[in-house]
């Protein structure tokens, strides 16, 4: 049995689950601390009543922090992991415990140093240095209180050594915090770069690099899915085959860069004139395919007329003002076709039979 199986961890949020895991690890150290304080009671260095009070305070504060983490309310805080709150509590508990003990403070101080090192995982160097300074302050106040109220339990040489050791931890911890912070930053940057690379690979896989619309394989895949959906739901499905007339002549007269710019503008105009649910892709050099889900042939022909007007009325930068592009549209509605090719060929045949192609 693990912590997940008993419901201690949230199972639908990996980040929140990691925060709770770290907290439970720190809580385990607190449990060891309470047990070790019990040994101090047996040695007469701490009264049973003081041990009980300290244990209850530690348990209550940890329960409150766990409840906040488990409920998800910490998500609204600037520090969702509550690292600052937990480290502040560590310093206060350390000060309280050091004040209550009549000796042997060095043993428990080691455990508190372990708890403070949890701050390295989340705090930046400036924050950890401030935390270390506060820990030094709490320890100094605690031993000063012992010196004032129970001078027989105060050993100046030992306490100065403890303060020196704790003071040494602050710059060392700050160095490690700086190192871990750099690792986190580097990891985040690599994750961002990886995500960008994945997006670029996805775009190269499904988008035509020249026009930015779907490439041939992507639009064929979309049409395949829509044919299956049309058959399953008994809904109409139409396609429009678009062919730009005399495009090779345009390339010869105006150059291939101008032809590429025309293709980009045509793709952009077509994209603006179709619905978000429609599919649009570059089928081949100067041919485009439009997929119209839930659209009968009559409605598809109206869409084709709109697309024709949209394209043929366009003006293209770098070309003469009187230049206009002519295009041919072929429309076909799904009949008994079980695959994409018969449907596309019917639309393409209509394009080939258009007088403008001759």
Of 105-114, 133-142, 184-193, the least confident: 105-114
Is the CATH number 3.10.20.440 carried by domain 216-357?
no
- 233-272 b/e (C-beta count within 10 Å ≥ 16 → b): eeebbbbbbbbbbebeebbeebeeebbebbbbbbbebbee
Q: What are the helix and strand counts (H, E) for the chain?
A: 11, 4
The pTM (predicted TM-score) of the whole model is: 0.52
For a pLDDT cut of 90, what percent of the chain falls above it?
A: 23
Query: What is the pLDDT, as a whole number, of residue 7?
Result: 66
pLDDT confidence band for 5 (50 / 70 / 90): very low
Q: What does pLDDT average to over the chain?
A: 84
Confidence bin at 75 (pLDDT 50/70/90): confident
**DSSP labels for 310-340?**
HHHT---TTS-TT----EEEEEEE-SS-SSH
**Sequence ranges of the domains in the chain:** 14-199, 216-357
């Amino acid at each position: 049995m693990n912590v997940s199986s008993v419901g201690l961890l949230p199972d639908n949020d990996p980040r929140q689950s990691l925060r709770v895991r770290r907290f439970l690890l720190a809580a385990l150290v607190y449990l060891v601390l309470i047990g070790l304080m019990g040994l101090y009671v047996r040695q007469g260095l701490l009264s049973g009543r003081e041990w009980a009070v300290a244990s209850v305070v530690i348990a209550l504060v940890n329960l409150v922090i766990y409840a906040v983490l488990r409920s998800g309310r910490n998500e609204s805080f600037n520090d969702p992991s509550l690292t600052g709150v937990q480290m502040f509590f560590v310093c206060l508990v350390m000060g309280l415990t050091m004040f209550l003990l009549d000796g042997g403070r060095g043993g428990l101080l080691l455990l508190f140093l372990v708890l403070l090192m949890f701050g390295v995982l989340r705090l930046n160097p400036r924050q950890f240095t401030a935390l270390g300074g506060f820990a030094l302050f709490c320890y100094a106040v605690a031993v000063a209180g012992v010196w004032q109220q129970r001078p027989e339990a105060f050993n100046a040489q030992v306490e100065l050594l403890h303060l020196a050791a704790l003071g040494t931890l602050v710059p060392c911890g700050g160095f490690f915090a700086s190192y871990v912070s750099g690792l986190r930053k580097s990891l985040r940057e690599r994750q961002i770069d990886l995500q960008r690379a994945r997006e670029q690979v996805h775009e190269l896989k499904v988008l035509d690099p020249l026009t930015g619309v779907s490439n041939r394989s992507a639009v064929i895949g979309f049409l395949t899915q829509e044919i299956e959906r049309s058959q399953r739901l008994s809904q109409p499905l139409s396609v429009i085959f678009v062919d730009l007339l005399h495009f090779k002549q345009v390339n010869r007269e105006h150059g291939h860069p101008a032809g590429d710019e025309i293709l980009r503008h045509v793709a952009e105009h077509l994209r603006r004139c179709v619905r978000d649910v429609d599919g649009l892709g570059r089928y081949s050099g100067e041919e485009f395919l439009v997929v119209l889900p839930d659209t009968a042939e009559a409605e598809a022909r109206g869409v084709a007329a709109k697309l024709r007007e949209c394209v043929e009325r366009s003006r293209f930068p770098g070309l003469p003002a009187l230049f206009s592009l002519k295009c041919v549209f072929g429309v076909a509605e799904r009949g008994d076709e079980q695959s994409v090719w018969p449907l596309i060929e019917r639309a393409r045949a209509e394009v080939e039979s258009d007088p403008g192609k001759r």
